[in-house]
């Protein structure tokens, strides 16, 4: 299909269109005035006697008589026309007798028998002005005046915006309905902020004890944990003005604008003290100074300097409490973090199982859910989910139920929503060959067997061969404990063993390996490296931390930093990592070989029903069969092994 290279016409800017309209109206007004007041050449004006002399001397070529005023007893006339020399004239007749005399004179001249003396005589009835003739000039004049006023107003707004360029972008929250009842899973965080709200309501209680309320509170945590929601809830709980602004609102390409906006923001806040000022994503303006590779001071640093002075400088900042939120506290300037500016840091982390239950209740208030479903069951399936993830989870479940025209949300919808949030939508249309499908089934079955048989391994909650995202299948394994805060060395070793079990199962059944374990190997290697370099779990390397998890490199601070160990130590680290991976790989081979029948049973039922839950796997482990899988097709394991042996 050929591409259409024609570009759409750009619309005329509003101000240019206004100019065109105003010019058109002015032209129409000029034409109307010209038509209303006649020709620009002024005609010669004659008195009555002068007009009679011109008429008797045969100097008049045409006569047009028009009544202009009068009634039955008195009437005046306008006389106009052309002279023999081509010029125009005008005269007025005072009464009917003058009119009759002129008419009689014209008759005599026209009947004298000389053709050249004939005068063209026309009687024009009195002109009647229509509604359009009266209204059109008024409309045109009004239109011109309107556009002149509009353009003047537009220029004044532009000038006003130019003067307001350095004004604060902080907005006052009005009609805020979010309260602490809408925030779940953050009891400690709400308790810390409740103290600030209570101080704003009852400052006398604290001042009598000599207490000073924190000037600034920094909300720190991963994205989606509810930092901005908590700040909005503070606005709903406190009966004081609440101003909110984003860190990016201070930054402009013009020097000094950011600092000017900071000054104006605190000036407005002080005038309305006591109040709360919330700065979202403060890392946009509060980054460490002096981290540019070329040095110097940019606009961000000047803005940060002004923010530091306003929060705690020479001036007094009483009554203004600054709330801020960020997920990159590691890059904030140390001067911004000292006591007196941000006195208190509140970490808003991912909720535990109790917090997830409360969050699910909040996000399910307006949703119709099957009463049989318990929020505790959903919370156990969603470890590591943030508040935003849980809100998205319940919304996806509601969408799935509506898509199937259901009257309420069932557990199957929630289960599918969990898979969607974690891995993406199912790709049932993706075509796999028979061999690929069998390889994926045994790969996932290998993960499940390790989860079932190893003591410290995670519990298998779901295993499927339905492709999602970039994965041909996946295994949902959750820790035995509801919330695991610490990890032990045996637990990490069994976790690595479980990650390697998929590759081991492929090799055990088909005597060959595939690329399906790509992500498993990455995760296993990362865990093994952290055990050696961060957790000090190596017997030969000792309890020494050789590396730290810096995450994204912060240009100017982390760039070019030397390692704190030698090349010889790096070689030893690589040896220790290989030793851990090799040990776990051999252990996975032993477990898979010892439980070969269970591996084949799980893979067989996976090929038949595609998805197995924890209850299904427990039934297969205990009874060796799955009741819900009727008329299963027996997978030709012997034929698969023959093909593998022939290929090798």
Give 383: exposed, middle or buried? Use CB within 10 Å, 0-12, 13-18, 19+: middle
* Whole-Å CA distances, 354 to 187, 359, 379: 11, 9, 8
String of b and e for 100-119 (b: at least 16 CB within 10 Å)? eebeeebeebeeeeeeeeeb
Question: Strand, helix or coil at 214?
Answer: coil
Question: Strand, helix or coil at 281?
Answer: coil
Nearest to 448 by CA among 468, 475, 480, 482: 475
Distance CA 601, CA 45 (A): 121
Indicate if 444 belongs to the active site: yes
The conformation of residue 474, written as its DSSP 8-state character, comes to E
Residue with tokens 């406190």: 238
Distance CA 255, CA 165 (A): 12
Nearest to 218 by CA among 349, 351, 336, 308: 336
Give 548: exposed, middle or buried? Use CB within 10 Å, 0-12, 13-18, 19+: exposed
* Whole-Å CA distances, 510 to 390, 439, 443, 447, 613: 40, 8, 11, 16, 26
Please answer whether residues 608 and 629 qualify as being in contact, where contact means their C-beta atoms are separated by less than 8 angstroms: yes
Question: Strand, helix or coil at 213?
Answer: coil
Q: Catalytic residue among 237, 299, 444, 576, which?
A: 444
Bond prior to 168 in cis (omega within 30° of 0): no
Q: For 273, phi and psi rounded to 5 degrees?
A: -65, 150
Distance CA 535, CA 458 (A): 21
The first and second tokens of residue 402, run together, are 């509506």
Strand partners, 122: 64
Q: HSE, CB side, 13 Å, CA atoms: give it for residue 222.
A: 11
DSSP string of 592-637?
HHHTHHHHHHHHHHHHHHSEEEHHHHHHHHHHSS-TT--SPPPP-H
Q: HSE, CB side, 13 Å, CA atoms: give it for residue 413.
A: 24
* Whole-Å CA distances, 288 to 14, 334, 336, 341, 566: 43, 7, 9, 15, 30
* Whole-Å CA distances, 82 to 58, 60, 89, 112: 12, 6, 6, 21
Give 271: exposed, middle or buried? Use CB within 10 Å, 0-12, 13-18, 19+: exposed
Nearest to 461 by CA among 629, 618, 592: 618
Cite the active site residues: 444
């Amino acid at each position: 299909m050929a591409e259409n290279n024609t570009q759409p016409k750009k619309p005329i800017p509003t101000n240019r269109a206004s100019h065109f309209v105003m010019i058109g109206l002015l032209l129409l007004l000029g034409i109307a005035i010209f038509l209303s007041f006649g020709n620009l050449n002024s005609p010669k004006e004659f008195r009555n006697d002068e007009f009679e002399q011109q008429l008797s001397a045969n100097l008049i070529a045409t006569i047009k008589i028009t009544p202009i005023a009068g009634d039955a007893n008195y009437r005046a006339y306008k006389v106009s026309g052309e002279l023999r020399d081509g010029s125009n004239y005008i005269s007025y007749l005072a009464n009917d007798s003058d009119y009759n005399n002129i008419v009689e004179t014209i008759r005599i001249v026209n009947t004298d028998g000389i053709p050249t003396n004939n005068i063209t005589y026309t009687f024009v009835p009195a002109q009647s002005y229509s509604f359009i003739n009266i209204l059109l000039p008024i409309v045109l004049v009004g239109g011109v005046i309107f556009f002149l006023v509009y353009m003047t107003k537009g220029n004044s707004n532009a000038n006003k915006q130019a003067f307001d360029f350095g004004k604060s972008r902080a907005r006052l929250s009005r009609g805020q309905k979010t309260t602490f009842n809408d925030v779940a899973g953050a009891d400690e965080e709400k308790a810390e902020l409740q103290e600030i709200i209570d101080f704003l309501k009852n400052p006398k209680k604290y001042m009598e004890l000599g207490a000073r309320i924190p000037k600034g509170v920094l909300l720190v945590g991963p994205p989606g944990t509810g930092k901005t929601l908590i700040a909005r809830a503070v606005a709903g709980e406190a009966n004081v003005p609440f101003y909110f602004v984003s860190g990016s609102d201070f930054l402009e390409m013009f020097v000094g604008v950011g600092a000017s906006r900071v000054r104006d923001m605190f000036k407005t806040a002080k005038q309305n003290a006591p109040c709360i000022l919330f700065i979202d994503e403060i890392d946009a303006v509060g980054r460490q100074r002096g981290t540019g590779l070329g040095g110097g001071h940019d606009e961000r640093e000047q803005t940060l300097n002004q923010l530091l002075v306003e929060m705690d400088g020479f001036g007094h900042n009483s009554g203004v409490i600054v709330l801020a939120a960020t997920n990159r506290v590691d890059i904030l300037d140390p001067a911004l973090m000292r006591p007196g500016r941000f006195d208190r840091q509140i970490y808003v982390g991912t909720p535990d199982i109790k917090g997830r239950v409360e969050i699910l209740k909040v996000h399910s208030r307006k949703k119709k859910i099957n009463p049989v479903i318990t929020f505790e069951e959903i919370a156990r399936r969603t470890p590591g989910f943030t508040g935003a993830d849980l809100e998205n989870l319940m919304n996806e479940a509601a969408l799935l139920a509506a898509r199937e025209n259901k009257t309420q949300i069932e557990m199957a919808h929630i289960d599918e929503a969990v898979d969607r949030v974690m891995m993406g939508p199912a790709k049932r249309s993706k075509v796999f060959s028979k061999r690929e499908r069998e390889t994926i089934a045994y790969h996932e079955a290998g993960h499940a067997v390790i989860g079932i048989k190893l003591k410290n391994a995670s519990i298998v909650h779901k295993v499927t061969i339905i492709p999602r995202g970039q994965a041909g299948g996946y295994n949902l394994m959750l820790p035995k404990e509801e919330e695991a805060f610490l990890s032990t060395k045996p637990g990490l070793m069994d976790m690595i063993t479980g990650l390697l079990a998929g590759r081991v199962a492929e090799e055990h059944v088909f005597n060959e390996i595939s690329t399906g374990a790509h992500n498993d190997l990455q995760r296993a290697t990362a865990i093994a490296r952290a055990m050696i370099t961060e957790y000090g779990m190596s017997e030969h390397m000792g309890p020494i931390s050789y590396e730290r998890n810096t995450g994204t490199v912060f240009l100017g601070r982390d760039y070019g930093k030397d390692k704190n160990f030698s090349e010889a130590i790096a070689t030893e680290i690589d040896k220790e990592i290989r030793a851990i991976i090799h040990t776990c790989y051999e252990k996975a081979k032993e477990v898979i070989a010892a439980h070969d029948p269970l591996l084949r049973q799980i893979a067989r039922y996976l090929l038949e029903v595609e998805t197995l839950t924890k209850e299904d796997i427990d039934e297969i482990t205990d009874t060796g069969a799955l009741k819900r899988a009727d008329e299963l097709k027996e997978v030709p394991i012997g034929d698969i092994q023959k093909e593998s042996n022939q290929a090798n």
